[in-house]
Amino acid sequence: MTLHPVLTAVTERVISRSARTRKAYLELIARERENGISRPRLACGNLAHAIAASGDDKAGLRSARGMNIGIITSYNDMLSAHQPYGRYPDQIKLFAREAGGTAQVAGATPAMCDGVTQGQPGMEISLFSRDVIAMSTAVGLSHGMYEGVAMLGICDKIVPGLLIGALRFGHLPAILIPSGPMPSGLPNSEKQRIRQLYAEGKVGKDRLMDAESDSYHAAGTCTFYGTANTNQMLMEVMGLHLPGSSFVPPNTKLRQELTRAAIHRLNEIGARGDDYRPLGLCVDERAIVNAAVGLLATGGSTNLAIHLPAMARAAGIVIDWNDLDQLSSIVPQLTRVYPNGSEDVNAFHAVGGMPSLIGSLLDAGLLHPDIMTVARGGFAEYRKKPCMHDDALTWEDAGPSTDDTILRAPANPFRADGGMKVMEGNLGRGIYKTSSVAPERWTIEAPAAVFDHQEDVLKAFRDGRLDRDVVVVVRFQGPAANGMPELHKLTPTLAVLQDRGHKVALVTDGRMSGASGKVPAAIHIGPEAYVGGPLSLLRDGDVVRVCARTGSVETLVSATELANRTPSRPPAPQFGTGRELFALMRGNVDMPEQGASAILASMDHMAAQEDA
């Protein structure tokens, strides 16, 4: 199938825009392969420290005959998605020995759960945990003991952080190994209904707690299609998972055999083998564009509009929101998974899942078929689903979707476009996810209610001051102000107002969760209010217009009047819950469209100084 011309044009633009930085990156990983730290170059004392506690693996590690795999794990037993990883290192060591190699836990990373910190002070360090995870990954790999990397991570900031860190060691092969989703629990629509009833005071806390516990009830990833599961889709469509492995449930024979196969495959794609596939070559411009296509085709989380540019940037690739917007015009929405539908990722997986999705996008010319993947047969292998036959792992053709209420082909999409829109106007530039919002709500014009804290929005609702047509503006929520916490806590409240028949929209320089749902929202608005962006000039009662059809977010206040206003003073910095430890990151972070990363901003500054 011939590639769609817009896909080709966007890719060529990304390649051209990235020419200098990509060249510098490829030169870096080539130098690291030839001259960087590695086991053969370690002094005897260095090596002795690294293998002192290795038991039966010590002889192999000392001789450096086989590959040594560095395991970067985000295990903790508080986070359901990552709890299964507790057993993985021991399994991986056995699987590595089967392939003639060894494995060591190179290091661990934090793994925050945005579900636990939603609406809490800890959410203000959530986005910056991605930078910490990237640095933690680099710390683990800096010992130079490894010829391959197994990355254990699932959720929101964790997968992007792992990839950003590992890409700085892009001469090594790497595979991300998922743990899979928990069994389906309370239907998402019912959970959302109970949340709205609680917001209205119609049910008590015990009823709400019962509903939440029936939704999040076992080991594995939450089953709605939020940021965590969008990450899994992204890694598969970039060819960094084994084919079809994203949504296989934990604690099953198939899940274990996929982990074994991933470790065996790592041994095959190392520099000493005949199929060398380093991470830095797998993650190229075409793979990044494929990731963007997957995001749009599945109506994935808007958080990836921040994470994807950051991951790309770590590999010397520059992608921006205009690229996403242009791809959205030609990539149809092919899935209906909550919050874009009633079913969850388990249902999506059961009706064909990632193999069917990838196959249909390849057939439509909407994915680059020639990317370098971790699978032996290349990207064509990602049409296949893993199965167990006679206690052995095999892959077989997935074929088309078996239920077009959940997953469709491009010839019969749910929507003709990918449901992500760049928004621009006199209030700044941001993102709007149209795929979850009914078309009749794409344009909202109403007086603004302006807040500096999300708790003030909830208080205004309880006091009855928002029971009207309203554009709720929540500012000073950007990365420089307070770390850009998600404002998902506001969703049930705003949904109640919308269900009462009011015209309601949200405008913010903060974030909304990948599970935010049906309320129109222009998010990630920049420049953020904290640095003097236009949201700092808004006042209660100013008429604001949010229109996804034209891609505009603006106030109808005249330019002259805005120019004569004094920006509102930012709230005082908040201490407690460790937030003060992240002041350095808030002070050095860049724009969300660039990835909202302090470490990448600093890295680019270093590169500019070197060029000068």
Residues in binding site for [4Fe-4S] cluster: 155, 222
Distance in angstroms (rounded) separating the CA atoms of residues 523 and 488: 12
Contact between 473 and 507 under an 8 Å Cβ cutoff? The reply is yes
Asked if 243 and 395 count as a contact pair (C-beta separation under 8 A), the reply is yes
Angle of CA points 125, 168, 315, to nearest 5°: 90
128: Cα separation from own chain's centroid: 13
* Type of residue numbered 497: L
Helix (H) or strand (E) holding 443: strand 443-451
- Using left for φ > 0, alpha for ψ between -120 and 50, and beta otherwise, residue 596 falls in left
The residues with which 357 forms a beta bridge, in sequence order, are none
Q: How far is CA 186 from CA 181, 211, 224, in A?
A: 14, 7, 11
Rg (CA), the chain: 24
**349-375 per-residue burial string, b: 16 or more CB within 10 A, e: under 16:** bebbbbbbbbbbbbbbbbbbbebbbbb
- Of the candidates 147, 173, 169, 129, the residue with the CA atom closest to the CA atom of residue 314: 169
CB 472, CB 494: distance < 8 Å: yes
The tokens describing 425, both together, are 């106007």
The DSSP call for residue 102 is E
Binding site residue list: 155, 222
DSSP string for residues in 457-473: HHHHHHTTTT-SSEEEE
* Cα 430 to Cα 450: distance, rounded to the nearest angstrom: 18
Could you tell me the sign of the dihedral formed by the alpha carbons of 496, 498, 504, 508, in that order?
A: positive
Distances (CA, A) of 48 to 39, 45, 59, 107: 11, 5, 11, 18
Terminal Cα-to-Cα distance of the chain (whole angstroms): 45
Residue type present at position 64 = A
Alpha-carbon distance of 402 to 461, in angstroms, equals 44
Query: Which three-class secondary structure string do you get for 328-371?
Result: HCCCCECECECCCCCECHHHHHHCCHHHHHHHHHHHCCCCCCCC
Evaluate whether 544 touches 507 at the Cβ level (below 8 Å): yes
Rounded to an integer, what distance in angstroms lies between the CA atom of residue 26 and that of residue 280? Answer: 7
- Strands (DSSP E) contained in 527-584 are 543-547, 552-555
Q: Alpha-carbon dihedral of residues 587, 321, 422, 560, nearest 10 degrees?
A: 50
The closest alpha carbon to 297, from 244, 234, 349, 344, belongs to 234
**Rounded Cα distance, 511 and 504, in Å:** 17
Q: Is 591 helix (H, G, I), strand (E, B) or coil?
A: coil
Question: What whole-number distance in Å separates Cα of residue 297 and Cα of residue 306?
Answer: 17
